[in-house]
Amino acid sequence: MRIRSVTSVAIPSGGEQTHIFDSGGGQKFAEELQAPLLGQVPIDPRVCAGGDAGEPLTRAEPNSTVGMFTQIKTPLNATFSPSV
């Protein structure tokens, strides 16, 4: 499994993302490893602000750009949770 972080910068005012690095590298690397790419996490200054305020952005704004964290947790839990 692979998660590529810092793929782009999220602009809080409009939600658009600006790619500050070339794109596609995470997917290419995942394919070379024959592993799924679980997500691409952007830099979002609201993550820091929410953490400092004690209100994680994934809870405060679950549909924000960092909602990717909630999408990533499902396959991670399935992979690493003990079988019952």
Host domain of residue 15: 2-80
Q: Report CA 36 to chain centroid distance, whole Å.
A: 14
> Which pLDDT belongs to residue 22?
73
> Which pLDDT belongs to residue 51?
84
Tally of domains within the chain: 1
Digit-by-digit pLDDT tens for the chain (84 residues) are 656 666 666 666 666 667 767 778 888 988 999 988 888 877 778 888 888 899 888 788 887 777 777 788 888 888 887 765
Residue 18 to residue 28: CA distance in whole angstroms = 20
> Which pLDDT belongs to residue 31?
93
> Which pLDDT belongs to residue 33?
92
pTM metric for this prediction: 0.54
CB atoms within 10 A of CB 39: 22
